[in-house]
Amino acid sequence: MGGITNPTSDLNLTLCDLFGDRISKHRTCWLHIVANHYHGKNYITWKEVEKIKKKYRRTAPCFNLAHPRSGRWPLRERSGESSSWMDNPALTTHKEGNKLDTDTFECYIEHIWKNFSEDKRMAFAYLDSLWFSLYRESSTRPKVLTWIKQKSIFSKKYVFVPVVCWGHWSLLILVNLGGDPDSESRRPCMLLLDSLENAEPKRLEPEIRKFVVDIYKAEGRTEDKKVISQIPLIIPKVPQQRDDEECGFYVLYFINLFMQAAPENFSLSDGYPYFMSQDWFKPEDLDSFRGNLEKEIPRKKVEIRATRMSRRKSGRKIGVISVDD
């Protein structure tokens, strides 16, 4: 990227020079929109990049930049040049520490989980916050399905699936996954709770449905694929976040409140949407919840990370792993 010293000037750059060899990895984020928009041209200006970024960064944030990762991805360096196009402030979409990373999320959810009694937890399960993202990658999909099978989720009434896509957190809840489609009290359904309606959560539906079909298949279930594909996916109205950084804490609070109030028998025809509504909780309730977590967790967070490091060394599987997007 020789010569990229002034991001405000109209420099003629090839897409390869601008994005390196990782442009295809960004898929549906704003960087992909840039690449697709200028496909076939041999230059692009910083002014044009900034214009697209401003327009799409909220609805199509860059998951590759925002996704937490370990330090094992070295930035490419050339003699006397900037180490990476990601170092340029004109392209930065995420500042370290602002959004909830998956390591911290895992510490918080384990803390929340242990605050409930064992009897209460029997009806619930939760998947690691990276599994859905890893499932989306064909190379790691089989492993993720193996991990999910070990969770015995078909014996649970409710399964929490944190979803991290395009730098945004939402919560998928699988309800009565092993239930009878003809039963009123045990009919399977899916809930997708999203604190940012502008992110268009409905666009996740094709991947969610494929995810669920593959889970059934990996479990060796006998349900017909057509029946599985007709499991209702409901997106209830829930409180909306106030800024670009709160989504992870909203997911944690959704989980905490849902576990407290989940009905014994969930029914779409009798009781839904239950407690889930736009006035489910007040912003100050979330602030209090978040403050308590941040005060209670620091020491536990260190212990959990140390445990994960020891698992890496012993070669066993871990919940949070690092992959190149």
The mean per-residue pLDDT over the stretch 281-288 comes to 97
Residue 5 maps to a domain: no
Burial 68-91 (b: 16+ CB within 10 A, else e): beeeeeeeeeeeeebebbbebeeb
Residue 68 maps to a domain: yes
Q: Which domain holds residue 80?
A: 15-87
Q: Which of 1-15, 144-158, 297-311 has the highest mean pLDDT?
A: 144-158
* Same domain, yes or no: 218 and 106: yes
Residue 93 maps to a domain: no
Q: Is the pLDDT assigned to residue 239 strictly greater than 60?
A: yes
| Residue 142's pLDDT band (cuts 50, 70, 90) | very high
* Same domain, yes or no: 234 and 167: yes
More confident residue, 264 or 99: 264
> What is the pLDDT, as a whole number, of residue 318?
44
Residue 96 maps to a domain: no
| Residue 325's pLDDT band (cuts 50, 70, 90) | very low
| 55: DSSP letter | H
Residue 325 maps to a domain: no
* Same domain, yes or no: 162 and 305: yes
State pLDDT tens for residues 21-36: 444 445 456 666 666 5
| Helix pair angle (283-296, 247-261), 10° resolution | 100
More confident residue, 236 or 182: 236
| Residue 89's pLDDT band (cuts 50, 70, 90) | very low
* Same domain, yes or no: 46 and 72: yes
More confident residue, 178 or 19: 178
* Same domain, yes or no: 260 and 182: yes
Contact 50, 90 (CB under 8 A): yes
* Same domain, yes or no: 142 and 285: yes
| Helix pair angle (298-314, 102-114), 10° resolution | 110
Tally the domains of the chain: 2
By residue count, the chain amounts to 325
**Strand residue runs (E) in 94-188:** 124-126, 158-165, 168-175
Q: Is the pLDDT assigned to residue 169 strictly greater than 80?
A: yes
The mean per-residue pLDDT over the stretch 217-226 comes to 93
State pLDDT tens for residues 105-121: 888 999 999 999 999 99
What is the overall mean pLDDT for the chain?
76
* Same domain, yes or no: 208 and 255: yes
Q: Is the pLDDT assigned to residue 233 strictly greater than 80?
A: yes
* Same domain, yes or no: 146 and 254: yes
Residue 186 maps to a domain: yes
Q: Which of 222, 209, 157 is nearest to 183 (CA)?
A: 157
The mean per-residue pLDDT over the stretch 205-221 comes to 97
Residue 146 maps to a domain: yes
* Same domain, yes or no: 78 and 112: no
